[in-house]
Amino acid sequence: MHVAIIVEGKNDKSRLSRVLSPEIPIHCTFGTLNSNRIETLRKAVGNRHVYLFTDPDSSGRRIRGVLRDIFPDADHIYTRPGYSGVEGTPVEYLIQQLEKAGLEDYILYPDPAAIWPVE
**In the predicted model, is pLDDT for residue 12 greater than 60?**
yes
pLDDT computed for residue 112 by the predictor: 66
pLDDT computed for residue 6 by the predictor: 97
What topology is assigned to 3-115 in CATH?
Dna Topoisomerase Vi A Subunit; Chain: A, domain 2 (3.40.1360)
Please provide the average confidence, as pLDDT, over all residues in the chain. Answer: 91
Task: State how far the Cα of 31 lies from the Cα of 95, in Å rounded to an integer.
Answer: 24
pLDDT digits over 52-96, tens only?
A: 999 999 999 999 999 999 999 999 999 999 998 999 999 999 999
Alpha-carbon torsion, ordered 36, 47, 1, 74, to 10 deg? 60
Instruction: Specify the DSSP class assigned to residue 3.
Output: E
**In the predicted model, is pLDDT for residue 117 greater than 80?**
no
**In the predicted model, is pLDDT for residue 116 greater than 90?**
no
Task: State how far the Cα of 70 lies from the Cα of 67, in Å rounded to an integer.
Answer: 5
Instruction: Specify the DSSP class assigned to residue 34.
Output: -
Question: Which band of pLDDT confidence, cut at 50, 70 and 90, is reported for residue 1?
Answer: low
Query: What's the N-to-C CA distance of the chain in angstroms?
Result: 41
pLDDT computed for residue 118 by the predictor: 54
